[in-house]
């Protein structure tokens, strides 16, 4: 009999047997009220409108825990509550199974509106009319189409899988409305696969808030509670990100700075301490390593399982909103790393969620990532596609995020990424492109830019896949920007060489301009360059202590002058000697020493110089914004070029990547007059040698570097100079 399924925790259609049930037409009575309370000894039903008893329910003779009340045929179903007695205590209960309509119609999203997932699934706070009262409730809905039974478990039922079986719908969702469940209540799902086997208790894939180890419980959360101060965020004045300065400070929230007890800062503490620092240093944006909930600290967030929940390691979702809000009030943009490439196998997570490969490709040649020992999302599954795009939109809508940097794009684009022959399955045309992932990226970017036109999307893509940052209607993937991994690898390889050998690798510095306008590039010196035995940036530099610092200073200034937006990982500005560790703070004590204060001051001055000098950013993605003056002086390891803005103003850049000063170095300039040095990485303010260059230089007539005028410099060792024509007072 169907009632036996309740006791076996296998009931998939509790709405057909619990709550008010009609009796047969030929019966002398018309209504049956049935409840299942395994721990109860006595149950009475009372009218929600009058408070008067409807009757005492009788314990079923054959099915312990099942209580029934038969009402006369003339009686109608009405709102009720239950008075329940157990062996040890008594309580009142609003039976969830009288709210079937409210649960049945919970899910009605359509594929063209992926944001409906986070508006309808998970735990949604609602209000119900019950008798003469309005009561608060939570509507739970989870997608598990291949499950045979799903129960809601949590604080509301003492984590008893028998207590609240969920109702299966025709479209694969399981639903239940539970009265008097408020924000903060913990819950999970108890799922049995299609063969009736019990799976590990699953956290809610759509949870807005989650506990840490060991429970990994999901929490009901109220998104309406926080009062934003940046109320005009979606209606702010449009800014063209391509022609605007963008200097990004990449950081990991748990290790930027820690308290005296080595505990990470909370989101609110981070707002209080980080924002003044960012303003002082002159960065325009911060980029957070993933804050989406993840089980393992050592993944830095790159193995997430909660794509709709900011990690509770540092506070609540409201605390994270406060952090973003404070950044916006200070004029700082917030970019989040977002990981749609893969997820870990933890039992409470997405892997084999309903006993099937619901979220991941089934074949390990497609569904298992050998580099990261994690599952790969099935980009051909319509629900998974909606789930991922909904996650992106969720962070923009509910947390006012300014941009998303998509991690590991290359691993998604290619079936053979990091795989040997025979370890991958070609696409329908026999090639290695994952058409499903390509389609997903185009849809993701279309949705983001159509609904949040001032947001930006950034691809971490390390190959030469074409048109990553070109519009979808032109055949591109639709990203706003792409990380320039080629520039990063080539330039770091060059600057790591002993200056004596750099003449043989000069092309490593100049090659990036061959393809500089193929994409909207960001130049990254990210966390990936200072972990896993790679050493810090300072320790990549050759030479003695002074030369290491000088090399790094010259390199940073070269980066800020090169076309493309900028990204630096936290600690780069301190010239740390040690690799970054997520388990401790940056080495802030280094600022007690002149060398490290000098490096920090240089990054500060580079940011502020960059932001106030339009030639350094305005035409980043136009050939008109850059001109080589001399890119062939490999023997002396020097480079010179100019950057230009739309009004024709120019900044001249000269780099000397040897420890030898260059006397009487000639530099072609466009106009006659006086030129001034606006930045010199060899300055004593940066722990440089303060080699005399001259603050004001007069041009001389005579063609040089193809320009009608030239100036004569005394070029310092291991240094980069910025110059411009002196403005009239």
Instruction: Enumerate the active-site residues.
Output: 407, 460
Residue keyed to tokens 């480079």: 639
Non-local (6+) Cβ contacts of 68 within 8 A are 32, 33, 34, 57, 58, 60
Structure tokens at 38: 């395994």
Structure tokens at 213: 């180890």
Collapsed DSSP state (helix, strand, coil) of residue 574:
helix
Inter-CA distances, 186 with 123, 219, 304, Å: 10, 4, 20
Collapsed DSSP state (helix, strand, coil) of residue 569:
strand
Structure tokens at 706: 């193809």
Measured between alpha carbons, how far is 293 from 303 in angstroms, rounded to an integer? 9
Measured between alpha carbons, how far is 323 from 232 in angstroms, rounded to an integer? 17
Instruction: Return the sign of the alpha-carbon dihedral for residues 85, 91, 96, 102.
Output: positive
The residues pairing with 698 across neighbouring beta strands, listed in sequence order, are 674
Peptide bond into 458 cis (omega under 30): no
> Contacts for 56-61 with beta carbons within 8 Å, 24 or more apart?
57/33, 60/3
Q: Kind of pairing, strands 53-59 and 650-656?
A: unpaired
Collapsed DSSP state (helix, strand, coil) of residue 268:
helix
Residue keyed to tokens 């605390």: 319
Measured between alpha carbons, how far is 156 from 402 in angstroms, rounded to an integer? 37
The residues pairing with 341 across neighbouring beta strands, listed in sequence order, are none
Collapsed DSSP state (helix, strand, coil) of residue 557:
helix
Residue 365: half-sphere exposure toward Cβ, Cα within 13 Å: 10
Measured between alpha carbons, how far is 269 from 272 in angstroms, rounded to an integer? 5
Q: In what order do the strands lie in the sheet with 342-343?
A: 342-343, 374-376, 368-369
Residue keyed to tokens 């053979």: 416
Backbone φ, ψ for residue 156 (5° rounding)? -75, -15
DSSP 585: -
Non-local (6+) Cβ contacts of 136 within 8 A are 125, 126, 127, 128, 179, 180, 181, 182
Residue keyed to tokens 């691993």: 411
Structure tokens at 503: 């003449």
For the chain, report the end-to-end CA distance as a whole number of angstroms: 95
The residues pairing with 369 across neighbouring beta strands, listed in sequence order, are 374
Measured between alpha carbons, how far is 198 from 130 in angstroms, rounded to an integer? 35
DSSP labels, 646-668 = TTS-EEEEEEE-SSS-EEEEEEE
Q: What is the dihedral of CA 672, 677, 679, 680, to 10 degrees?
A: 120
Nearest Cα neighbor of 555 from 454, 467, 487, 644 is 487
Task: Return the ∠ at Cα 459 (arms to 643 and 367), rounded to 5°.
Answer: 160
Structure tokens at 645: 């803005």
Non-local (6+) Cβ contacts of 416 within 8 A are 423, 424, 432
Measured between alpha carbons, how far is 354 from 370 in angstroms, rounded to an integer? 24
DSSP 360: B
Q: Kind of pairing, strands 638-644 and 626-630?
A: antiparallel
Measured between alpha carbons, how far is 416 from 701 in angstroms, rounded to an integer? 58
């Amino acid at each position: 009999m169907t009632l036996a399924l309740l006791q076996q925790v296998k009931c998939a259609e509790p709405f057909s047997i619990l709550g008010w049930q009609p009796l047969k037409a030929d019966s002398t009575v018309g209504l049956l009220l049935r409840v299942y309370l395994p721990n109860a000894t006595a149950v009475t039903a009372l009218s929600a409108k009058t408070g008067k008893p409807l009757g005492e329910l009788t314990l079923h003779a054959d099915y312990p825990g099942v209580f029934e009340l038969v009402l006369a045929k003339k009686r109608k179903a009405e709102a009720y509550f239950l008075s329940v007695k157990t062996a040890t205590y008594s309580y009142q209960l609003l039976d969830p199974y009288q709210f079937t309509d409210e649960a049945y119609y919970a899910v009605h999203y359509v594929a063209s509106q992926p944001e409906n997932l986070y508006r309808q699934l998970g735990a949604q706070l609602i209000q119900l009319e019950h008798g003469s009262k309005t009561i608060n409730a939570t509507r739970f809905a989870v997608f598990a189409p291949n499950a045979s039974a799903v129960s809601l478990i949590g604080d509301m039922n003492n984590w008893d899988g028998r207590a609240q079986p969920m109702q299966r719908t025709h479209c694969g969702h399981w639903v239940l409305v539970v009265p008097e469940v408020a924000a903060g209540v913990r819950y999970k799902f108890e799922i049995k696969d299609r063969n009736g086997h019990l799976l590990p208790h699953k956290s809610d894939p759509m949870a807005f808030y989650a506990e840490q180890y060991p429970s990994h419980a999901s929490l009901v959360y109220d998104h309406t509670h926080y009062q934003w101060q940046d109320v005009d965020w979606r209606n702010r004045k449009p800014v063209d990100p391509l022609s605007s300065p963008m200097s990004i400070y990449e950081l990991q929230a748990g290790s930027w700075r820690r308290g005296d007890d080595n505990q990470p800062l909370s989101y609110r503490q981070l707002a209080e301490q980080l924002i003044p620092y960012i303003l002082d240093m002159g960065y325009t944006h911060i980029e957070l390593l993933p804050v989406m909930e993840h089980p393992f600290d050592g993944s830095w967030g790159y193995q997430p399982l909660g794509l709709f929940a900011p990690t509770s390691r540092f506070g609540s979702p409201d605390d994270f909103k406060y952090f973003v809000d404070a950044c916006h009030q200070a004029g700082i943009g917030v970019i989040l790393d977002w990981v749609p490439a893969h997820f870990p196998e933890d039992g409470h997570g997405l892997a084999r969620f309903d006993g099937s490969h619901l979220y991941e490709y089934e074949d390990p040649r497609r569904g298992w990532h050998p580099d990261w020992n994690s599952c790969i999302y099935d980009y051909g599954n319509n629900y998974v596609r909606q789930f991922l795009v909904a996650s992106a939109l969720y962070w923009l809508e509910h947390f006012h995020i300014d941009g998303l940097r998509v991690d590991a794009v290359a691993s998604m684009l290619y079936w053979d990424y990091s795989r040997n022959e025979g370890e991958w399955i070609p696409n329908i045309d026999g090639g290695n492109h994952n058409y499903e992932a390509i389609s997903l990226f185009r849809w993701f970017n279309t949705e983001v830019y159509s609904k949040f036109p001032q947001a930006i999307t950034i691809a971490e893509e390390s190959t030469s896949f074409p048109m990553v940052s070109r519009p979808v209607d032109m055949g591109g993937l639709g990203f706003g920007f792409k990380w320039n991994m080629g520039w990063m690898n080539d330039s770091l390889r060059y600057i790591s060489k002993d200056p004596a050998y750099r003449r043989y690798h000069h092309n490593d510095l100049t090659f990036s301009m061959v393809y500089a306008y193929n994409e909207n590039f960001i130049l990254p010196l990210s966390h990936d360059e200072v972990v896993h035995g790679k050493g810090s940036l300072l320790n990549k530099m050759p030479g003695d202590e002074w030369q290491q610092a000088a090399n790094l200073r010259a390199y940073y200034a070269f980066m800020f002058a090169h076309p493309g937006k900028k990204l630096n990982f936290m600690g780069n500005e301190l010239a740390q000697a040690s690799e970054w560790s997520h388990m401790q703070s940056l080495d802030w004590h280094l600022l007690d020493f002149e060398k490290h204060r000098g490096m920090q001051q240089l990054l500060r001055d580079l940011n502020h110089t960059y932001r106030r000098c339009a030639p350094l950013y305005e035409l980043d993605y136009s050939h008109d914004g850059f001109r080589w003056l001399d890119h062939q002086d490999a023997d002396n390891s020097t480079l010179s070029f100019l950057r230009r803005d739309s009004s024709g103003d120019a900044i001249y850049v000269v780099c000397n990547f040897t420890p030898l000063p260059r006397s009487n170095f000639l530099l072609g300039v466009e106009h006659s007059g006086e030129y001034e040095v606006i930045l010199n990485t060899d300055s004593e303010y940066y722990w440089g040698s303060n080699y005399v260059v001259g603050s004001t230089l007069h041009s001389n007539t005579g063609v040089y570097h193809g320009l009608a005028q030239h100036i004569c410099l005394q070029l310092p060792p291991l240094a980069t100079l910025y110059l411009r024509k002196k403005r009239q007072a």
